[in-house]
Amino acid sequence: MKNYDARRVTERIRLAVLLLAVAACSVAESEPDASLELEVAAQDSRFDDPADLAGIRVEITGAGPTKVYQAPHVRGPGVPPFRVPDTGQVTVSTQIAQDDEIVVQGSLSWELLPGTRWFLQITRAQEPLDGYPRCDLGECPENTRIPCDDWYCRGAWRFAVREDAARVEHDSLWMVLYRVMPDECEDICWK
């Protein structure tokens, strides 16, 4: 009788181990969480200069609770990636103020996709740092999506700084959106 009980216990342990292994495999194969990473890049811009990026404000809606970031939040390592829903629409609105006046503002929205990693780069410059648009400097349209040359780039948006506040000719707020879908070569091909 004891030998029969020992076999039943052994079989139950084997079954439990098998179930745990199957559960571990299904967790390992599950779709990754969708995320959004925000980088405010300072090409030749400074976060402490009132005539530059010191007055930046970025607001993200539709990705869970509204998030608001200002110069102290985005300088240095920037905003770490955070989870976003797999579906819905996210909107990022950015503005730069100088002497309590908004000198440039822009907004873009896009549909979220399951398990997708999003990366938004914002900069104030004559041209964006990456994903250079297919247009000549000064010829790029404003307030509309401009196609990119980069594989993962979904588009670049240019918003002109008010002329009396511009530091250089064609001074602009650039928002460049990148997307990596699940199963793409993210670790090899992308940043």
Same domain, 110 and 140: yes
- Let me know whether 73 and 106 are in one domain: yes
Domain extent at residue 25: 1-30
Residues 25 and 95 both lie in one domain: no
Give the model's confidence band at 25: pLDDT under 50 very low, under 70 low, under 90 confident, else very high.
very low
Residue 82: CB atoms within 10 A of its CB come to: 14
The per-residue pLDDT for range 34-53, each reduced to its tens digit, is 898 888 876 656 777 777 78
Helix (H) / strand (E) containing 31: none
> What percent of the chain stands above pLDDT 90?
22
Q: How many domains does the chain have?
A: 2
Cβ atoms within 10 A of the Cβ of 168, count?
10
Mean pLDDT throughout 64-91?
A: 86
Is 70 in contact with 54 (CB distance < 8 Å)? no
**Same domain, yes or no: 102 and 47:** yes
Percent of all residues in the chain with a pLDDT value above 70, rounded to a whole number: 69
**Domain match, 39 and 121 both:** yes
What is 61-105 written as a DSSP string? ESSSS-EEEEHHHHSTT-EEEEE--SSSEEEEEEEEEETTEEEEE
